[in-house]
Structure 1
Amino acid sequence: MTQAITRHDRVLGCLVGGAVGDALGYQVEFTPWDRIEASWGPAGVTELRNNQISDDTQMTLFTVEGLLLGTDGGSEEDRVEQIRLAYLRWLTTQREPMPPLGSEGLAAQPWLYSRRAPGNACVSGLRDGGRPGVNPNSKGCGTVMRSAPFGLHFGPDEAYAFAERCSQMTHGHPTAGASAGAFAMIVAHLMNGETPQRAVSAALLHLRGGIDRSETADALQQAFKLAGNIPPGPNTCAPLGEGWVAEEALAIAVYCFLGTDDVRKGLTAAVSHSGDSDSTGAILGNLYGAAYGHAALPKEWASQVEGREVIHALANLMEPVA
């Protein structure tokens, strides 16, 4: 008899899985596929030679902290404000060499004060206060890679709404918000025990519900099609783009997610390409963890990834909103 996956195991799997995919891809971020192949071999990135996470996991953890601080009977506005303040604390970690005197929570963690190629829009948007209206033309993937915790914390519709709204703190383009929202919605459906296909299909239906054309829905449709025709492998995601923009990063991760339930094979495929390898790896790791739980992650990767103790502690605090 197969043991049921507990909610806690999905939460922990999602957060650790994201960190694993992030670290795996951070090893080759900005590296063209031909150079990856020359350095790592035709099988792609199959080892965690360096356990360091990037800004993707850093911001994801600050999203968790903001959600945890905004749950005590606060209004929607209060919750959104806690997320903004959490992101501003993350910005401090990118400016200071060590925690300022009196820092608390994640801001007191020295290992988070490493600058790991933070996205320009994330930095500039928060530098300007993290208010709606910043970077109106930006749809970089920095808004997607940090949004899994909304799906862990809320049901599907609320997860979409919060992720979409909080994306506006750094990325003003509607596609950035739609992609972040769709990602959070998929995670929420997985947390409810839906299959990968049903979870992605539900997000697609939500995106197609409006009268406006959706770049995110178009990209997810392409991911569906590619997953049905080409099994994920090194650089097979190339038809979907390089992952620098929101809908491409989400589509690459979803393609690998739908294409194989072999976590190791999928993560290798998600990071072994030209482009934003850490973000596509992080997003896929979040999806795999939410779907299959922490136990499904490759043990040698999950046991050594940077920040795992803090991630475990945060996962223990995550509770769903009634």
Structure 2
Amino acid sequence: MSKSSQKRERTWLLNPFHSNGTIKRVPELEDEMVDPPEMVDKNVFDRVFGSLLGLAIGDALGASVEFRPQRFLVENRVTDLQSGGTWGLNRGEFTDDTSMALCLANSLVACRDFIPYDQLVRYKWWFRNGYMSSTGNCFDIGKATKKSLLEFEYRQVTFSKEHRIPIDQMDYLHDPKLLRLFDVDCSEQGVAGNGALMRLCPVPLFFYRNPKYAVRFSGASARTTHGDRIAIDACRYYGALMVAALLGENIDDLLDSNFYVKHQNWFNNEPLHDSVMNIVGGSFKKRGGYAEGIRGKGFIIHALEAALWALWANKDSFERGVLAAVNLGDDTDTTAAIYGQLAGAIYGFHGLPKKWRDIIYGRNYIECLSRWIVHDGERWSLEKTQGYFPDLMTSSKQHTDTIIRTVPEDQTPPEDVSSSRSLSKYSSDKTAENSRSYHRTPSEPLHSTAFSANRKPSPTSEIGKPYTRFHDRDYTPANDPSSMPGYSMEGLETCEDVSKWLRSLDKAFANYVSGFETNLVDGFWLLNHVTNESLLKYGVKKREHQEKILNEIRKIQHRIDEKRFKNSNQTRL
């Protein structure tokens, strides 16, 4: 096949923009995409499609209750896909987990290779333009990912000036000599959140025929945004599990405490971090689940352990396993998305519940993309990657040994000092559990608040950051003045804090305290999700009382905006 024919087949990947500069939505790209010219192995395709769609199903199931604590889910268990909730999504729509995974998969197919620079470009398109988003916007992004993408943009601007490349051509850089000069490791040190793991599966799915490189690239895929050795090794291990699943190993083989020893050559005989080896050894095998310490948290070790627990405790059912992952609470969508990647590869597409697989947003796109992953993965050549990034072919030990160790090797870090969080050791447990940050809130307009990249002021436009908690999958230095969640600035962290605030507004409002507490309205929920409709649910029926409460919330939001603007300007000085 000629190069021109190959290019025509991939126009939906090579240029996802309209002539007016707006991004094409997934349904539009579905109309443009074509299947590969050759047939692909049906059994392999079933597992690849199952893994990608399993990720999306887990993400969509958890999206409606994202941030909700486990005690809330005890009384309100998730049993099916639903609309509304945290982000106000339609049934079957997904969040950043699936969007970033699709960006990564698109890059592998577009380049027919592992090119981290192109991966970052596509993440940037998602962040700035809503590429691969189920809503057409980037509504959900972790702070570590955001900072890494801002750093990437800064490096693009600097690189374009140094090498006299027009800035509008930087997203289409393909010269191997230039790509070798561009530093794609945009993460800060100490970043070990679950954001690297949630998007991983396209890499092992594409390279599974070459286990050593599948494992190596799984680790390298984390480095662009999450540079801690723990994050890299967690991705290497989980990538190896997916390779083994595609090669036909069963669940017991995958969850064997000797898995690393039996597949040591896949890891190039490079040891895994002790916290990852603890999971390999079976730390997730706890019948009591949540009661015995399994948590769906943002630290990558907690997330990995939770996903494997859901798989181990529900070996014969994708449906039970993914719902178990969601109902752990907290980072519900990501825990379930991580579970769905591996479980989908094990059970295959036909092993996924039909009631869910047919209503996932972009289902046809994911199906065709899966065919391309199988097709191009079969034809991948090592020589091309060596030409682009020879360092990826050598030991990763040099890179990982330079990363600051953020937790003791012999133990899992306490929640409020884990390497994935920006909180100091003096932060409350409540704040540590719920720390999050997003590009916009689900039910409030975007408020313009200043934000700066950690290393250098970014030359790009500032990013609005509302009042939400920081992504658990992120890390920010504790002395960053922008790192405190908005509700913490106002002393509104717990349900009790909200109840006290409510009583302070008016004596008559004491009657509403029980309604707020019953619905677990903490500071985050108050500042991001309270509306006239929800106030009715909490028992606030008088219109004037609703307006007063909402007006006071707006005042708090305004104060947070002013504090953040002041702090971010001080950061630049």
Please confirm whether the aligned pair reaches a TM-score higher than 0.5, indicating the same fold. yes
1:308 offset after TM fit, Å?
Answer: 1.0
1:90 to 123, 137, 147: 123
In structure 1, the partner of 2:299 is 245
Q: Give the helix-richer structure, 1 or 2.
A: 1
> When the two structures are aligned, how many residues end up with a matched partner?
291
In structure 1, the partner of 2:309 is 255
Alignment deviations for residues 229-265 of structure 1 (CA, whole Å, 9 cap, x no partner) = 44x6xx46x6133330112111111111122221111
SS of the aligned residue for 1:142 comes to coil
2:194 to 109, 133, 141: 141
Decide whether the 8 Å contact of 1:208 with 1:214 is kept in 2.
Answer: no
In structure 2, the partner of 1:218 is 278
1:53 offset after TM fit, Å?
Answer: 0.5
* 2:140 pairs with 1:117: yes
Q: Bigger CA drift: 44-53 or 15-24?
A: 44-53
- Partners of 2:118 and 2:268 lie apart in 1 by 32
Unaligned runs of 5+ in 2: 1-40, 84-91, 153-182, 380-573
In structure 2, the partner of 1:183 is 238
Structure 1 stretches of at least 4 aligned residues deviating more than 6 Å after TM superposition: none
* Percent identity between the two aligned chains: 26
Change (3 A) 1:251 1:279: same
- Partners of 2:283 and 2:117 lie apart in 1 by 31
In structure 2, the partner of 1:151 is 204
SS of the aligned residue for 2:199 comes to coil
In structure 2, the partner of 1:74 is none
2:60 to 14, 23, 31: 23
In structure 2, the partner of 1:55 is 96
1:305 offset after TM fit, Å?
Answer: 1.4
Letter in 1 for 2:192: K
In structure 2, the partner of 1:7 is 44
SS of the aligned residue for 2:293 comes to helix
- Partners of 2:309 and 2:93 lie apart in 1 by 25
Decide whether the 8 Å contact of 2:63 with 2:333 is kept in 1.
Answer: yes
- Partners of 1:212 and 1:49 lie apart in 2 by 38
Letter in 2 for 1:113: G
Which has more radius of gyration? 2
Cα RMSD over matched residues? 2.5
SS of the aligned residue for 2:355 comes to helix
Letter in 2 for 1:23: A
* 2:360 pairs with 1:305: yes
Alignment deviations for residues 162-213 of structure 1 (CA, whole Å, 9 cap, x no partner) = 0111211001110001111111111111000001221244654347955674
1:114 offset after TM fit, Å?
Answer: 2.4
Change (3 A) 1:110 1:64: closer
1:271 offset after TM fit, Å?
Answer: 0.7
- Partners of 2:121 and 2:283 lie apart in 1 by 34
Letter in 2 for 1:158: Y
Decide whether the 8 Å contact of 1:219 with 1:240 is kept in 2.
Answer: no
In structure 1, the partner of 2:550 is none
Decide whether the 8 Å contact of 1:5 with 1:292 is kept in 2.
Answer: no
- Partners of 1:318 and 1:305 lie apart in 2 by 19
SS of the aligned residue for 1:19 comes to helix
* 2:338 pairs with 1:283: yes
In structure 2, the partner of 1:36 is 73
* 2:110 pairs with 1:69: yes
Change (3 A) 1:34 1:216: same
SS of the aligned residue for 1:37 comes to helix
- Partners of 2:367 and 2:194 lie apart in 1 by 25
Q: Give TM-score, length-normalised by structure 2.
A: 0.48
SS of the aligned residue for 2:234 comes to helix
In structure 1, the partner of 2:184 is 131
In structure 1, the partner of 2:223 is 168
Letter in 2 for 1:167: A
In structure 2, the partner of 1:75 is none
Change (3 A) 1:265 1:310: same
Change (3 A) 1:265 1:223: farther
1:9 offset after TM fit, Å?
Answer: 0.6
Q: Bigger CA drift: 209-218 or 180-189?
A: 209-218
- Partners of 1:262 and 1:300 lie apart in 2 by 14
- Partners of 2:365 and 2:271 lie apart in 1 by 43
1:217 offset after TM fit, Å?
Answer: 1.8
1:111 offset after TM fit, Å?
Answer: 3.9
- Partners of 1:259 and 1:310 lie apart in 2 by 32
SS of the aligned residue for 1:240 comes to coil
Change (3 A) 1:84 1:303: same
- Partners of 2:96 and 2:272 lie apart in 1 by 32
User: Which of the pair has the greater relative contact order for Cα pairs under 8 Å at 6+ separation?
Assistant: 1
